[in-house]
Amino acid sequence: MSSVQHAKPGEPLIVVSNRLPYNLPSASGSGTPRRNVGGLVNAVEPALAARGGLWVGWDGSVLPNLAAVDASLAGPRRWVSPEGVEFLGAPLTERELARYYHGFCNAALWPLFHDFIGKVRYLPEEYALYERVNRRMAEVVLAQAGPASRIWVHDFHLMRVPAILRELGFRGLINFFLHIPFPPGEIFRTLPWRDQLLSGLLAADGVAFHHERYRENFVRTAQGLVPLDVVPLGKQIGLVGSTGTSWASVSPIGIDVEDFERLAGDPAVIARSRRIRSAHGERRLLFAADRLDYTKGIRKRFHALERLFDLRPDLVGRADFVTVVVPSRHQVEEYRSLKRDVDREVGRINGERGEDGWLPIHYRYRALDRRELVAHYLAADVALVTPLRDGMNLVASEFVASRVDGDGALVLSEFAGVSDRLPGAMLVNPYDVDGVAAAIAHALDMSESERRGRMAQMRRRVRALTAVSWADDCLSSPGACAEGAA
């Protein structure tokens, strides 16, 4: 495989993830970079902008074969953002997109790590493509790394990268951050390539997780599969094996709080939020925003809304639910089927429950830019964040950060990693439809003083844990992430 030229030694930081924050311009330089949506992007980009460095990942291009990939890597696409972050793009082949990304990543690892074992698909040819893409990313990164570089690998798409970097001779510091849950050992052990993925993670100097529960699952799983000595050291746990020590840490991710607060104070955004409120008249406004995914509990949330109207008929015609569903993985039949199910549920509920001049669900199937999202956060009486399973969930934090007015209520799934970081939220079991409905009713009935008290608690926690402070925690010591701010 062709390689790219070395950058200057000592580059402060190299981030590598499956996807870059932007689809880069074409090789000819034409076109405008288009920003991608996602929690990883929203958190890592401001952190890297503050520190400086290079970000390597898939640039959105899909090429027909490996020969085209090699030719592309001979002169890779680069772009520097207005914030000064340099991006280096690597392509995928059509087969890799289908087998590595839509296949092994999203049909095996995604459901496995979210405990949806019944949805898992294990195919050897898909794992082979996963290994190949991980090797390509490692080679691109290594060609840019100097001896003093620190490499920060992100998420389940690239769990083999640390081990491949070691195999290729890199001896500098490697950190790995997992943005989704790590499953219990009995679930992880069903993976035929469990040893390869575990060795990939253990090749990093530090492996970090959002939540203590995820780290505990990882440590216990590693102990059960690999000869290791476990050495607690303060807030870190050392896993000492034959090839060295990897430190397992907890560092819950933050957001760019200042940017959300700035937007929430922007007169144009405030005016937009007032127009949203005006469009709904005197009705109470419930709001949710999710990527289209079975882990998000979208349909169960609809059922809870129906139950709310059964329990509280006084809210019929007096409460609107605005739900934004961001398109995702539309090339995968399961996600197309989920989209059809969501569409049908919206139509059924609106058809059965709606009245003249009123529909209970206002459904948007599209991504909202950040300004529009903040306007909706400001307009909402209650935000509903009720995933069935989520590594962290930054929507909850974004809602809180946007509420510079100190008002608003949050109904939050106990199975979101952020649940124990937001003490003012109303925690619910998303599988308990009656319980979610009761929590929504309580949120709507809550006194202003209670709402403001709860929001003040949450805002203190969100402001204490930003994207930049999270990155500083993760990179503050060789190979380890410090415990995030409480």
Which residues are identified as catalytic?
179, 390
How far are the Cα atoms of 48, 306, 350, 357, 436 from residue 313, in angstroms, in the given order? 50, 10, 15, 17, 16
Contacts of 290 (CB under 8 A, 6+ apart): 296, 298, 323, 324, 325, 326, 387, 395
CA angle, 384 as apex, 342 and 287 as ends, to 5°?
75
DSSP E strands in 350-465: the ranges are 361-365, 382-385, 409-413, 426-428
For residue 476, count other CB atoms closer than 10 A to its CB: 12
How far are the Cα atoms of 134, 204, 239 from residue 249, in angstroms, in the given order? 23, 12, 11
3-state secondary structure of 260: helix
Pairwise CA distance, residues 326 & 365, whole Å: 6
Summarize the chain as % helix, strand, coil (round to 5).
45, 20, 30
390: left (phi over 0), alpha (psi -120 to 50) or beta: beta
**DSSP for 207-256, written as a single string:** EEESSHHHHHHHHHHHHHHS--EEEEETTEEEEEETTEEEEEEE----B-
Write down how long the chain is. Answer: 486
Q: For residue 467, which phi and psi values (nearest 5 degrees)?
A: -60, -40
**H-helix or E-strand containing 62?**
strand 54-63
3-state secondary structure of 93: strand
Q: Furthest-apart CA pair in the chain: how many Å? A: 71
Q: Kindly state the tokens that stand for 317.
A: 């015609």
